[in-house]
Structure formats: C-alpha cells, structure tokens
Structure 1
Amino acid sequence: MIRRKIIFSLVSLVAMFALAACTGKDDAAPKGDSSSNMMEGHEGMNHAGTSDVPEGLKEALNQTYPVGSKAIIHADHMPGMNEAEATISGAFDTTVYTITYTPLNGGEKVENHKWVIHEEIENATNDSYQAGDEVIINAEHMEGMDDVTATIDSAEETTVYMVDYQDTETGEDVTYHKWVTESELSQVE
C-alpha cells in the first residue's frame, strides 16, 4: 500500500512538473475555440486537470490497471482520445453517471456527458442515483458545469480511472483526465 502511494506521488510530481513546463503555450487561445476541444457538446472540455480527487473517493483495491501502468483508451469523450495510449494516474471504485445539463455559462444543452462520479454530486446520498434523478454537480470537467443542476441518464458501479495521454490529433499532452471507465480501456499489446 505504501509502495503504491509512493509510486502515485512520484507519477503525480513528474506530471506536475511536465504540466508546469508547458504552461503558457496555449494561454492566448480562447477556451472552447480549439479544434481539440470540439466534439458534440464537449466544447470547453478541460484537457489538463489536477491530481485532486473528490473527498470520500476510495482507491480501487483490485484495479485491472494499476497506477503507472499503460492501457489503450477506447472512448471518444473528446477528439484525439480514442486509441490513445494512456498512463494510469489513479484508479477508484465508485458509481459513474452520464448526465444531461445546460451549462451555466449559457452554452448549448449537453446530453449524455460521460462521466461524473458519485462523489462529484453535491450532498450525495449513500445510495446511487437512478436515471431521471436531478442532482447538482460539483465538478469542472467542462465550462459551465460546476454547480449546475443535471439529470442522471445512466448509472453504473465500476472502477474509474484518471489517465494521462497524448492527444492523437494534436500531440497535446492531457494530464489527469477524469474519468475513463474500466470497460473503456484495454491492455497495451
């Protein structure tokens, strides 16, 4: 357990230095204006996150992809993600949700956004939410998402992963992307 925490800390530290070295590169570009941020309602998706996780989120005990391991992403939450090789930067057991909401910044309605986790719901109950439930989101995956009222579209208990990868379209480094489910990953061959 201690070894795993040390490895996670080292991976986090290296990623933080790499991210700091890249700061300023795209500062002049307006958010949501880059082609790497555009995908069916995913304009403004945050490419680089932090290693911070919501309070109460529990590290997965039997994750298929341990922190520091490599996996191939099979998801298109944003352009340049599908088929990218990822490095696992976190693995957690929780309930993941797809949600529909209208951004607080006045953007277009976002349907079936993947993924928000149970710990990112304000005043979350102990039980998982069901399709049709309305919740308030405490996450900033996209512009205008934090503090928005959303409708749950689906719910699934699974292991979710925080991943680092290189955008296959732009070459941009994406760090601490939250979240990819276990079913959206496969072993590197």
Structure 2
Amino acid sequence: MKKRWIYAIAAAAGITLLGGCSDSATPAPAAQSGDTDMHGMDHGSSGAMPEGLKEAADPVYPVGSKVVIRSDHMAGMDGAEGTVTGAYDTTIYSVSYTPTDGGEPVSDHEWVIEEELRSQTESVPDAGDTVTIEAGHMPGMKGAEATVDTAEKGVIYMVDYTPTDGGQPVTNHMWVTESELSTE
C-alpha cells in the first residue's frame, strides 16, 4: 500500500511539473539582442487592441501580405513566413524598465507603441522621457515605469506566423517594424 501511495504522489508531481512547463498558446521565447531577458514574452494578441490605434494609410505591407520576418524577438521568428494582420501609423518605441514583478531589469525592449504608453506629460514621449507601460507583452511589464530609449514615427505591423523551430503558430504577434519584414 505504501508503494502505491508513493507512486501516486510521484505521478501527480510529474504531471504538475510537465503542465507548468508547457503553454501551447504562447510560443517559447528567446533571449536575443535588444531585450536582456525575453523570458515569458507573449506578443500574441487575444484581440484586445490598444485604444486610438489608426490603420496605416499606405503601408509597404498591406493587410493580407505574405512576408518573411527578419527579427528574432522570439524563438523561431527569424526567417519565419507569415501574413500581415494589421498595419498601423504610430510612434514606435524601444524602452528600458524594471518589471513590476521583481524580475531583472530589461534594456531596449523592442517594441512598444505610443498607444501602449502613458506619458508623464501631455506631449508625445521622446527618447529620454519617463513613461508608464500599459502593455503586457512580458510578465511585470504592465504598469512598469520605463525610460524611452528610441522613438520613431512609422508603420508598425501585427503578423501571424509559423515559427521556424516547429513551435505552435503565432496569431497577431505585436509588433514588427517595416525594416523587420521582407517579401523573400
């Protein structure tokens, strides 16, 4: 009877550990240039778009365009084929912040857009400004105070893609810049 009890506990512990290591809805993140720690990154969208976002008037890659991603924000992203699901005119930022959950500081996180930031002033944030992040791309990001590293007006894209590393397809990945996309 003791052996059965021990086997039952071991099996339950194994299932718990395995369940905690997998998340089929979120592709595995990858550490890469830019962010110091991409652990837990989830740029997929549940459909909730930032308020005030304006569709791009004349994007290089219109919605429905087939593209190749030339960025490594996440594992299996660089070289992945995808489809543009959104193109928006906005100000695009890279930011540095300390996560609200006690995680390690993140440097030069790419990308957050104007509609995902709350500025300390009435003006559009610029490099060096302090802002509050309203996006939840990574654990501890939402509500974190950040410093703007770069700011550039342009078109930001949302894409669906299938990772090159065999990971689960990603829907509505937020965000990719025009320079991170190509047609071949």
TM-score interval (norm. to shorter):
0.7 to 0.9
| TM-score of the pair, normalised by structure 2 | 0.80
CA RMSD of aligned residues (A): 2.2
Once the two structures are superposed, the pairs formed by residues 34-53 of structure 1 within 5 Å of their partners are 36-39=28-31, 40-46=36-42, 48-53=44-49
* Other-structure match for 1:88: 84
* Other-structure match for 2:142: 146
Aligned mates of 2:95, 2:144 — CA distance in 1: 11
The yes-or-no answer on 1:161 pairing with 2:157 is yes
| TM-score of the pair, normalised by structure 1 | 0.78
The yes-or-no answer on 1:175 pairing with 2:171 is yes
- 1:64–1:126 Cα change, 3 Å: farther
The yes-or-no answer on 1:64 pairing with 2:70 is no
Deviation at 1:171, TM superposition (A): 2.8
* Other-structure match for 2:111: 115
For structure 1, the residue ranges without an aligned partner over 5 or more in a row are 1-25
- 1:136–1:184 Cα change, 3 Å: same
Deviation at 1:172, TM superposition (A): 1.4
Give the count of matched residue pairs.
161
Moved over 6 A (4+): none
* Other-structure match for 1:22: none
Q: Which has the larger radius of gyration?
A: 2
- 1:47–1:99 Cα change, 3 Å: closer
| Identical counterparts, % of pairs | 48
Aligned mates of 2:19, 2:159 — CA distance in 1: 23
Q: Does structure 2 retain, via aligned residues, the 8 Å contact 1:118–1:124?
A: no
Q: Does structure 2 retain, via aligned residues, the 8 Å contact 1:97–1:114?
A: yes
What is the SS of the residue equivalent to 1:151?
strand
What is the SS of the residue equivalent to 2:37?
coil
